[in-house]
Structure 1
Amino acid sequence: MHLLYPSDPFDKKRPDEQYAEEYEAVVAAGLEAALFSFEDFEMGFFKTSIPIPPGDSVLYRGWMLTPDAYAALVTHLRDKGVIEFTNATQYRHCHHLPEWYPLLVAYTSETVVLACDANFNQALDGLHWPGYFIKDYVKSLNTGSGSLVDTPERIAPLVEAMRQYRGQIEGGICVRRREEYLQDTERRYFVLLGQTYGATGEVPSLVTECARLIDSPFFSIDVALRSDGVLRVVELGDGQVSDRKEWSAEHFARMLSHGMSTRRPNLLTEPPLAIDD
């Protein structure tokens, strides 16, 4: 298997600065890594820095892509005779909240999915939630006043602010019931070929349970402690475009190396494995 990273926009022989540390770590861990120009890809041209043998698989690690753009990347890979590690359907399944939410509804904040131009007052009438967390299918607004509002009347202006800051709304609007989480308790876990991994080697049972429900070879799960002490799923994402967050590049590379060298476990009978620091 090869890891595929975006190259520096000004030097196609070097990884993009954002991924340079991780690229060096995966190479040091003995994994094969290739580069491609993201700028060329956006213009419809795709070429890897080294030839990838036909029949090999490729795991993308790079900038967040829309499902359509990811499908285009898969097409380029297949045209070269190589196999995508995550197919386009699996990518969308983890990338768009409305895809994974029905499977994890018992473990995450209650959510209503609406069109961008919905009448939010009418659609949310009668809910009387303590607050509303607003995002599109992928992202929330991390600038200005943020993505939390107290009343439905404030959602439409926030959606417009999201459109202005980001240039587009992906999919539609996800209105999530506000839940209070304890400060500094959010953690990111990865699931690779069915095996769960944590940055410290410890994996909560909630993450293992969720791993059984999601059909994808590589994804991330963010969890946090709610104010009542209950562990909750905050976010799910495709592992190829998920930031490492609290993970060091070296630990992340060891996870990839370990995951690719072991068989897929039976999650119903086998406990999660830890990778040594």
Structure 2
Amino acid sequence: MMLLLPADPLRPRRPDEHYAEEAALARELGVTVALVDHDALPSGDAERAVQGVPRGGGPALYRGWMLTSGQYGALADALQARSVSLVTGVEQFRAAHELPGWYPSLREVTPVSQWSTDDGRAGFDRARLALGAGPAVLRDWTKSMKHYWTEAALIPDLADADAAWKVASRFRELRDDSFTGGYVLRRFEELAPAEVRTWWIGGTCVLAGPHPDSPTALPETPFDPSAYASLISSLELPFVTVDFALRSDGVWRVVELGDGQVSDCPPALRPALIQALVGMSTSHITFRRPEPWS
């Protein structure tokens, strides 16, 4: 399996500095590494983005910067024209990358959520009323603005319609062209700041460690990913990350699920991650393609 990594924008024959270690580790293990011009994807030139990928390379896995589902689809098509197929299909990527894709399967272990399908107030209000009064955390289908907690993330009480919309409007302003899908309202839960990021291949947890935002911090309470294996496996996704945090009552909660290709990894865990990916078998990954959701 070939590993695709972003090229350095200034030195396109070298991997981006952030992924240079992963490139070196993969090459040491005999993996073919090819570089993708990530900057060409947002501009709509996927063909240029994959010019450095050898033709006929077979199955490939991307490890790089965040992509929208549309950009990932364009990347997949451009690679397919070179007889290179991504292990994670386009709809599988979307199901992992966008909350409406994974939430129904994990609703038992993650905060209760409602969402809209656009950035209008009518849809936002429908989601707000469906969730009911009380505090909530706002995001869109792919991302929150947690660094703007009081102005664009936390809604103290959904019953206050105008105050809630003010937070949503600020969120929309900050997300700008990156806004994806619609608004997501998640019931607020008191969670410990230190999170555990787990890595799953074919429904099996292969790695667990600190979240890259706090690479030296881990909860004191031991975490057992096997308790969630059946739920994660039910998603039938090839390569995902799942972030967990401890709620104030001592219960582990899923904070986020994401496609593993665009999930960052703390430096200390990169050797183990690349080793796991090298051993990733593509022969048994025949998962169904999830149906699009409304």
- Any gaps of 5 or more consecutive residues in structure 2? 210-222, 286-294
Deviation string 1:8-57 (CA, Å, 9 cap, x unpaired) is: 11111111122222222222333221102122343412334352434x10
CA distance in 1: counterparts of 2:95 and 2:130, whole angstroms: 30
For residues 220-235 of structure 1, the aligned pairs below 5 Å read 220-235=241-256
Deviation string 1:161-204 (CA, Å, 9 cap, x unpaired) is: 233323232000110001111342x211111123212235x742
Name the residue aligned to 1:142: 146
Of the three residues 188, 191, 196, the one matched with 2:200 is 191
State the superposition RMSD in angstroms.
Answer: 2.4
The one-letter code matched in structure 1 to 2:182 is G
Which structure carries more helix by proportion? 2
For residues 96-175 of structure 1, the aligned pairs below 5 Å read 96-114=98-116, 115-119=118-122, 120=124, 123-125=127-129, 127-144=131-148, 145=150, 147-152=153-158, 153=161, 154-168=163-177, 169-175=179-185
Identity of aligned residues (%): 33
4+ residue segments displaced more than 6 Å? 261-264
Contact 1:188 1:245 in 2 (8 A): no
CA distance in 2: counterparts of 1:194 and 1:127, whole angstroms: 30
Q: Report deviation, 1:248.
A: 2.1
CA distance in 1: counterparts of 2:267 and 2:14, whole angstroms: 25
- Any gaps of 5 or more consecutive residues in structure 1? 265-277
How many residues get paired? 261
Q: Which moved more, 1:149-158 or 1:43-52?
A: 43-52
The one-letter code matched in structure 1 to 2:226 is S
Name the residue aligned to 1:268: none
Q: Report deviation, 1:156.
A: 2.1
The one-letter code matched in structure 2 to 1:134 is L
Q: 1:126 to 1:136 in 2, by over 3 A?
A: closer
Q: Report deviation, 1:122.
A: 6.1
Q: 1:30 to 1:129 in 2, by over 3 A?
A: farther
Q: 1:123 to 1:32 in 2, by over 3 A?
A: closer
Q: Give the structure-1-normalised TM-score.
A: 0.85
Q: Which moved more, 1:162-171 or 1:90-99?
A: 162-171
Q: Report deviation, 1:135.
A: 0.4
> Secondary structure of 1:211's partner?
helix
Contact 1:199 1:251 in 2 (8 A): no
Q: Report deviation, 1:233.
A: 1.1
